[in-house]
Structure 1
Amino acid sequence: MMSDSSTKKVRLTNKFVDSLLKLPAEKRSRRYWDAEYSPLFLQFSATGSPSYVMRYTKANGNDGDFAIGSADYLSADAARGACKEHMSAWLLNGVDPVEARRASRAAAKAEKVDTTFKGVADAYLARKLKVREAKGKTRKLAEVDLLQRLIYPLIGSIDVDKINQSMIEEALEDIELGVVRRGHAAADDGRTTAVACHKAMKRVYKYAIAKELTTRNPAAFKCAEDTPVKRRGRMDDPRFRLMWDQLVEGVYRSPHSVAPLALLIYITTIQRPVDIARARRSEINLTTRTWRPTDTKTGTEYFVPLSDLACKLISIAMARSDSEWLFPKQRRGADGHMLETSMGNYWFVLRKRLVEEKVLEDDDINVYDCRRYGRTQIVHKLGYSRDVAELVINHHQKSGMDTLYDVHDYEPDIRRAQEAWSAEVVRICQVDVPALFTDFDR
């Protein structure tokens, strides 16, 4: 099996591969065979690029090498699993992996598969929408607008296999600069939009690799926003009260705008803005003081206890319309819920005005700082555990093994912590809950 002169055997792991990449090229062997599964080896190209390869004996008795994929994009465990799968198909069913891949690509060409970035992305979106519709989800994908409006004009006509990292980076720079030129309020520097586009490109390429339309992901590089910086000290009690008071004033000043009221509910419940925007009346029970969002960012149903303050704000929102949505779109004749970006836009304009009026000393305070502040206060001031705080903001991962083995009923703890946070909002902002908006003309 291993006819190559290099027979170094080691259990291939991500850590081991990373250690090899730190070595000078002359100190690395060309191949490293996996001690756990012998047909698999790690190979370095002449330019130093690592990839996983499967060695197998072809039908004519000669050795054959099948490229599984680049180690830059595949974990060692994933490569080992793929190797076992291809080897089983070969030994049990006579499926030669090289011939199968060649046939797959030939079939794709015969079917005139559109392998341009736009063609692949359209196929990816169609597949994703089909899966979502099967699950009963009908809301529009944000990726559709990003791809069609911003990404396609730049790289849509180029074959996915001919796009490189440099082209992706240039496209993202153009997108960022385009946002600046157009002067969009929610992201005046364009970084937020560029990051969202970057993530969309990564997902399209992940689909392309799965369909064997390409073997690499040129968008897989890491961007600065992938690792957020902790924003210590950005929010404090005075700033928190200032923004609360301004939002209350905004409800009075703009009675037809849903954004300021939505932001007040967001601050009170510290749930994700996108989930506030998608809230339905049917999910909210003011008698039991509970909101159970279903169409959530993570796809998981949440439990959100509602305080007196939250119930009061939600009641006002419900009285404004008969829509199934707590916050329907405001454009005449438009259906559906408000957009999350409406909340971000309103915050941006409000913050800009306060800075210009010198009421706020700087503009380094964003919407999510309220959620971060609430999460921090629940632990460090109100004395609840980190687990409870994570559950309050619905950050927990149900797939985690520790979660599967923790059978404690956290709902009473979540309710107490949520009530405590709401009481803290009332204290900081000096809110008279019974009197709040009683004079508001609904």
Structure 2
Amino acid sequence: MARTINRLSHRKVETLKEPGMYSDGGGLYLQVTQGSDRTPRKSWLFRYAVAGRERQMGLGPMSDVPLAEARDRAAAAREMRRAGKDPIVEREASRAEARLAVAKSMSFDECAAAYIAAHRAGWRNVKHASQWANTVATYCSPIFGNLPVQLVDIGLVMKAIEPVWSTKPETAGRVRGRVERILDWAKVRGYRDGENPARWRGHLDHLLPARGKVRRVKHHAALPYAQLPVFLAALKERDAVAARALEFAILTAARTNEVLGATWSEIDPDGRVWTIPAERMKAGIEHRVPLGDSAIQIIKGMMCTKQNSYVFYGDRRAALSNMSLLMLLRRMGRNDITTHGFRSTFRTWAAEQTSFPREVVESALAHTVSNKVEAAYQRGDMFDKRRVLMSQWAGHCNAFDRATKTVTAFRLKP
């Protein structure tokens, strides 16, 4: 039976030891029970009726909930009753919602891992996935990787990219773009809502300068085309797979990864053509490369020492590594140039020493046409014209005369 007390006090609450219900008024009760060790246990209850049926809602033990807080909780429950709501039902609904929110929550790192896993199959090479993971681990994880993705805001994004925006603008741009994609993925999957704090246009562009204004683009160091014949003559004297790979890359004006990944199934010596499949091309489009006499000689030489499915083989049945070409240039004392820079050498030579149309030269470099209208009409790959162009390029590359140690001028018009 409940014992009515006009108003409980902190002192009175502490002294109550007899088992029973002690009313504080307004539906709030202190329940005193006796444990197995005969020690009194005290807890708060809110008693009310719904449709004539009495209900009791626990408000917590007195050891955790002091009298003032118990009164606040009872007052909140009375407000619910005045609004026609059942406090117990409302509390259970709130707890269920909280459990659902926890079940649905994901940290930013978890979202990043899920995004990478979902898109891995669509990326051209495995390195791209590792680059994504490394970017997140280096610039994002230390700042907000463990936080729920819903809590990632503009302040956290700025904290990740602002320190490197002026010193490493390209890296900072990649970080921003990848964070934006991960947060967009999280929003679509229901893990966050609201604006994307990593969005550039109309958002971060008000807080950071454009990357192009921060630092001029640093192009790959390239060898002047006038010096190329002497360099190639020195390269031919080196007996190494890396030397043949670099020579082949120069003669074909192909990208380093395209050359190093070349397989025998892609080479047609009789047709004098190298067909690079779409999945290995930067633009995702199959590319045919005409092979001149010098390139065919390299192919035949590599056939004699064939080790595996790769033309330019490395160890353990793998392709030659990119580092091999870099070390080759270092051994030649050419730290001032890069392998990729030879494509720039070719482009400059073609512009200044030939009259081939721009689109033929760009096609030789496997560059995509940026103008959509132009691309719609330009469906062919101009292979025959490119064969003539690459023949002239090979003539320039091999223009060094070892006997006289002079470069023979080689210039033909298409």
Q: Which residue of 2 aligns with 1:241?
A: 229
Contact (CA 8 Å) 1:266, 1:272: kept in 2 or not? yes
Larger deviation: 203-212 or 368-377? Answer: 203-212
Aligned residues: 284
Q: What does residue range 359-378 of structure 1 map to in structure 2 within 5 Å?
A: 363=336, 365-378=337-350
Given the superposition, is the C-alpha separation of residues 296 and 204 from structure 1 closer, same or farther in structure 2, using an over 3 Å criterion?
A: farther
Unaligned 5+ runs, structure 2: 1-97, 205-209, 404-414
The match for 1:308 among 293, 300, 305 is 293
Query: 1:200 & 1:277 partners in 2: Cα distance?
Result: 28
3-state secondary structure, aligned to 1:374: helix
Aligned-residue offset at 1:413: 0.9
Contact (CA 8 Å) 2:135, 2:175: kept in 1 or not? no
Residue 343 (str. 1) matches residue 343 (str. 2): no
Report the aligned-residue RMSD: 3.8
Query: 1:149 & 1:231 partners in 2: Cα distance?
Result: 24
Q: Which residue of 2 aligns with 1:291?
A: 274
Q: What does residue range 11-410 of structure 1 map to in structure 2 within 5 Å?
A: 109-116=101-108, 118-131=109-122, 139-144=125-130, 146-149=131-134, 151-156=136-141, 157-159=145-147, 161-162=152-153, 163-170=156-163, 195=170, 198-199=173-174, 202-212=177-187, 213=192, 215-216=195-196, 218=198, 220=200, 222-223=210-211, 229=217, 235-249=223-237, 251-252=238-239, 255=240, 258-294=241-277, 295-330=280-315, 333=316, 335-347=317-329, 349-350=330-331, 353-354=333-334, 363=336, 365-397=337-369, 400-407=372-379, 410=382
Given the superposition, is the C-alpha separation of residues 148 and 203 from structure 1 closer, same or farther in structure 2, using an over 3 Å criterion?
A: closer
Given the superposition, is the C-alpha separation of residues 203 and 301 from structure 1 closer, same or farther in structure 2, using an over 3 Å criterion?
A: farther
Given the superposition, is the C-alpha separation of residues 396 and 143 from structure 1 closer, same or farther in structure 2, using an over 3 Å criterion?
A: same
Aligned-residue offset at 1:154: 4.5
Given the superposition, is the C-alpha separation of residues 316 and 301 from structure 1 closer, same or farther in structure 2, using an over 3 Å criterion?
A: same
Given the superposition, is the C-alpha separation of residues 237 and 129 from structure 1 closer, same or farther in structure 2, using an over 3 Å criterion?
A: closer
Unaligned 5+ runs, structure 1: 1-105, 177-190, 356-362, 433-442
Given the superposition, is the C-alpha separation of residues 121 and 340 from structure 1 closer, same or farther in structure 2, using an over 3 Å criterion?
A: farther
Aligned-residue offset at 1:172: 7.6
Given the superposition, is the C-alpha separation of residues 171 and 305 from structure 1 closer, same or farther in structure 2, using an over 3 Å criterion?
A: same
Contact (CA 8 Å) 1:275, 1:297: kept in 2 or not? no
Aligned-residue offset at 1:264: 0.9
3-state secondary structure, aligned to 1:322: coil
3-state secondary structure, aligned to 1:141: helix
Q: Give the AA of the match of 1:248.
A: K
Contact (CA 8 Å) 1:290, 1:306: kept in 2 or not? yes
As a proportion of its length, which structure holds more strand? 2
Q: Give the AA of the match of 1:279.
A: A
Aligned-residue offset at 1:328: 3.2
Q: Deviations over 1:154-174 (max 9, x none)?
A: 53235451432242243689x
Contact (CA 8 Å) 2:360, 2:385: kept in 1 or not? yes
Structure whose CA Rg is larger: 2
Given the superposition, is the C-alpha separation of residues 208 and 151 from structure 1 closer, same or farther in structure 2, using an over 3 Å criterion?
A: closer
Query: 1:431 & 1:298 partners in 2: Cα distance?
Result: 39
Q: Which residue of 1 aligns with 2:87?
A: none
3-state secondary structure, aligned to 2:366: coil
Q: Deviations over 1:182-210 (max 9, x none)?
A: xxxxxxxxx6xx84675265234324224
3-state secondary structure, aligned to 1:413: helix
Query: 2:114 & 2:289 partners in 1: Cα distance?
Result: 37
3-state secondary structure, aligned to 1:292: strand
TM-score, normalisation: structure 1:
0.55
Aligned-residue offset at 1:308: 0.5
Given the superposition, is the C-alpha separation of residues 324 and 107 from structure 1 closer, same or farther in structure 2, using an over 3 Å criterion?
A: farther
Query: 1:127 & 1:165 partners in 2: Cα distance?
Result: 26
Given the superposition, is the C-alpha separation of residues 310 and 109 from structure 1 closer, same or farther in structure 2, using an over 3 Å criterion?
A: farther
Given the superposition, is the C-alpha separation of residues 399 and 419 from structure 1 closer, same or farther in structure 2, using an over 3 Å criterion?
A: same
Contact (CA 8 Å) 2:113, 2:133: kept in 1 or not? no
Query: 2:99 & 2:181 partners in 1: Cα distance?
Result: 20
Aligned-residue offset at 1:324: 1.3
Contact (CA 8 Å) 1:195, 1:225: kept in 2 or not? no
TM-score, normalisation: structure 2:
0.58
Q: Give the AA of the match of 1:274.
A: N
3-state secondary structure, aligned to 2:126: coil
Residue 422 (str. 1) matches residue 387 (str. 2): no
Q: Deviations over 1:285-339 (max 9, x none)?
A: 0100001101222221101100111111122233333311222332xx3x54334
3-state secondary structure, aligned to 1:402: helix
